[in-house]
């Protein structure tokens, strides 16, 4: 398959937008909310058990998993980012779901990598929903990108199976109802 670098603008636009939004929201939280503090718009206190902004640091993976793994996750983010950049031009134009998924995953990986490098291995988390671990825009992007990837693979597999059934039915009809061996 021929490598095509014409696809990088899409990757860079999506991933770059995610990195920018991630870094911007993290900086707003760090500048305006003391560590460990919670914020809700005035009059929205009823929402507190369900959703709130909570300034928190994380030294592990997304959603607070694997605490104190900053170096490991920094290396992993670099490796994944490089692999996405190398593999991206090889994706067929029709695989929009794979392009979107990989772009989102790259944006999330780079967003959290920037935080780890600039904040001594820590990542600012601030989105708190119910009892779910606190997370950020980069974590969300990685998760949504993974869901899109899995959903796209599942849909493609279903389509391939449908195509195989249709081809088998067509072969049977072309052979007078007899399957060829």
Residue 91's contacts (CB-CB under 8 Å, 6 or more residues apart) are 7, 98, 99, 102
Strands, DSSP E only, in 10-143?
Answer: 38-39, 51-58, 123-129
**Structure tokens belonging to residue 25:** 């929201």
CA–CA dist 22, 162 (Å, integer): 40
Please tell me the predicted confidence (pLDDT) of residue 62. 60
Residue with tokens 């944006």: 107
Task: List, in sequence order, the alpha helices (H) in 88-136.
Answer: 96-118
CA–CA dist 113, 1 (Å, integer): 31
CA–CA dist 47, 150 (Å, integer): 32
Under a CB-based contact definition with an 8 Å cutoff, are residues 133 and 63 in contact?
yes
Q: pLDDT digit of tens for each residue in the chain (181 aa)? A: 455 567 789 999 999 999 999 999 999 999 999 999 999 988 988 998 899 999 999 887 665 566 766 788 899 999 999 999 999 988 887 888 999 999 999 999 999 999 999 998 899 999 999 988 899 999 999 999 999 999 988 988 888 888 888 888 888 777 765 554 5
**Is this model's pTM higher than 0.85 or not?**
no
Please tell me the predicted confidence (pLDDT) of residue 1. 47
Residue 125 CA: distances (Å) to CA of 65, 90, 103, 173: 12, 34, 21, 60
CA–CA dist 112, 123 (Å, integer): 6
Please tell me the predicted confidence (pLDDT) of residue 65. 61
**Structure tokens belonging to residue 147:** 């869901």
Please tell me the predicted confidence (pLDDT) of residue 64. 57
Strands, DSSP E only, in the chain?
Answer: 38-39, 51-58, 123-129
* Per-residue buried b or exposed e for 109-133, using 16+ beta carbons within 10 Å of the residue's own CB: bbbbbbbbeeeebebbbbbbeeeeb
CA–CA dist 52, 44 (Å, integer): 10
Active-site residues: which are they?
A: 125, 139
């Amino acid at each position: 398959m021929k490598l095509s670098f014409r696809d990088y603008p899409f990757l860079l636009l999506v991933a770059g937008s995610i990195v920018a939004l991630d870094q911007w929201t993290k900086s707003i939280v760090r500048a305006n909310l003391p560590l460990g503090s919670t914020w809700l718009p005035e009059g929205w206190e009823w929402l507190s058990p369900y959703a709130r902004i909570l300034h928190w640091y994380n030294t592990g993976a997304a959603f607070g998993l694997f605490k104190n793994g900053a170096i490991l996750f920094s290396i992993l983010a670099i490796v994944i980012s490089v692999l996405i950049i190398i593999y991206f031009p090889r994706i067929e134009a029709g695989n929009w779901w794979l392009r979107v998924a990989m772009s989102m995953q790259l944006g999330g990986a780079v967003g959290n990598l920037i935080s780890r490098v600039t904040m001594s291995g820590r990542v600012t988390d601030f989105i708190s929903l119910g009892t779910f671990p606190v997370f950020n825009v980069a974590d969300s992007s990685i998760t949504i990108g993974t869901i899109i990837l899995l959903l796209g693979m599942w849909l493609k597999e279903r389509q391939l199976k449908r195509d195989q059934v249709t081809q088998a039915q067509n072969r049977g009809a072309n052979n007078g109802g007899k399957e060829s061996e």
